[in-house]
Homo-oligomer: A and B are copies of this chain.
Amino acid sequence: MEFWSFPPKYDNSYLPDAGSKYWFPERETMDPGKRDAAILERLKQVTAYAYKNAPFYRTIWDEAGFHPDHLKSLEDFEDKVPVIKKADIREAQARAPLFGDHLCIDEKDIFRVHGTSGTTGRPTAFAIGRDDWDAISNAHARIMWGMGLRPGDIIFVAAVFSLYLGAWGALAGSERLGATSLPFGAGAAGMTSRAVMWLKDVKPKAFYGTPSFALHLAETAKDEGVDPREFEMGILFFSGEPGASIPGVRDRIAETYGARVIDTGSMAEMTPWMNLAGSAETDGMVAWQDVVYTEVCDPTTFRRVPYGERGTPVYTHLERTSQPMIRLVSGDLTRWEAGPTPCGRTYPHLPDGVFGRIDDSFTIRGENIYPSEIDSALNQIEGYGGEHRIIITRDAAMDELKIMVETTAQIAAQGKSAIDAFEQKLKDDFNRMLGVRTYVEVVPEHTIPRTDFKARRVIDDREVFREFEANLAEKK
């Protein structure tokens, strides 16, 4: 197995043969049983390392009666090692500022500090060691090679460079790959128009951003008389939203840009977050098990579900020494299949990507509804104007679902009867698909604001109602 050691140590001058579709042919195509055996040995090293260096893990494991010496099989791992959750990390940080008692390295060896935005409550700080950054760059370069990217390709990174790790992860991979990076960023006023100008001139091989931003960018280009196909991009790869694995959204982006669309990304905590990523020949995502060990689990027992079934990913770092995450529950939802993947890798395959967070779904009169299903349906309906909002309201004691949908200028130009027919079609489709009564409001194109980051399409009026009720109760 190429460069397989803990702590990881990579030769930064290594590149695969130009003709190879694999960065590490052996690691990527080996017998999965043999890989599992190697992963088990690595898990012994990682848990021993964490037990020694992190009071966080020592405390949790002692309490659960687990010791790294107990680890004899992958079944032991899921059986004996308790899962951790984001809230545990936040507590660790509150207990031992600034980086928590899960930090396993000296603070002076921290290369980068990143974190959650903290828009809702106290931010979580991520500390990434110097050697970790190196391993992250190598992992991302390897996965991006699998997408079809090669040295000398121009990669346009169009996501905000700040605390958020998305853009930085794409850049680190691009640099290690020997590509030419154009770290354009996003988020400031006027940048979308400027991106159109640069893309038209530079014609990069690849683009990284969020699906929402790619769609917004295409609209901006068209408004300026530029067909996004003029950018002549080959690959658009995404993270931050499930869009690139939602067939309707994926196909719409692919069609708009005339390019291949690739979905990537697990969680910021798990950086190298490209551990889940599609490839040149594989839609959905490949679980790169030798970078981050992913178990798709039953969300109550946290035992692996059989291939073919749905569950929530539980992640374990195999190449991080700063703040290793061991059995971190994502709270996302996915379905996994045994490998090999269409690209010939012997990793598990997540054909639908990570299709929505469990806590992103909502229940309307007993029906579980995933916003990504609504996204997907709309993107396949002719006349959809490109943006929508899902509004959950409370009418008396009943929850009601309302979807505000833009329609195209063409439909709007045909007058009221065409708009009414479009509205009726949406109602029928949603009622059938979602199993609950849906109110639809059709609005003109460009009515709903676009975003250069992740779209927030669900507006939960019930929360407002609940807070109101709670406040009332408190005052009584």
Residues of chain B with a CB closer than 8 A to A110's CB: 180
Nearest residue in B to A175 (C-beta to C-beta)? B111
For the complex, count residues of A whose C-beta is within 8 A of B.
44
Q: Are B201 and A97 in contact (CB under 8 A)?
A: yes
Report yes or no: B118 in contact with A194, Cβ–Cβ below 8 A: yes
A70 to B4: give the CA distance in the assembly, Å: 56
Whether the pair A188, B187 counts as a contact (CB closer than 8 A) is yes
Within 8 Å by CB of A162, from B111, B125, B185, B201, lies B185
Judge whether A182 and B152 touch: CB under 8 Å. Answer: no
Q: State the main secondary structure of chain A at its contact with B.
A: mixed
Interface centre among A130, A175, A180 (most CB of B within 10 A): A180
| In contact, B163 and A201 (Cβ under 8 angstroms) | no
Q: A162-B188, A191-B162 given as contacts; is B183 within 8 A of A112 (CB)? A: yes
What separation, in Å, do the CA atoms of A375 and B163 have in the docked complex? Answer: 33
Contact status of A168 and B183, CB under 8 A, knowing A98-B202, A190-B119, A201-B98? yes
Query: Does any Cβ of B come within 8 Å of A107's Cβ?
Result: yes
A476 at interface (Cβ–Cβ under 8 A)?
no
Give the distance to chain B from A18, nearest Cβ to Cβ, in Å.
12
Residues of B with C-beta under 8 A to A439: none
**Chain B residue with minimal CB distance to A158?**
B162
Which residues of chain B have C-beta atoms less than 8 A from A49's C-beta? Answer: none
Q: Separation in Å of the A97 CB from the closest CB of chain B?
A: 7
A61 within 8 A of B: no
Report the minimum CB–CB distance from A437 to chain B (whole Å): 36
Measured in the bound complex, the distance between the Cα atoms of B111 and A191 in whole Å is 22
CA distance A185 to B113 in the complex (A): 12
Chain A residues numbered 197-254 whose CB sits less than 8 Å from any CB in chain B: 197-198, 201-202
Q: Evaluate contact between A118 and B181: CB separation under 8 angstroms.
A: no
* 3 tightest A-B CB contacts, nearest first: A108-B152, A161-B161, A187-B188
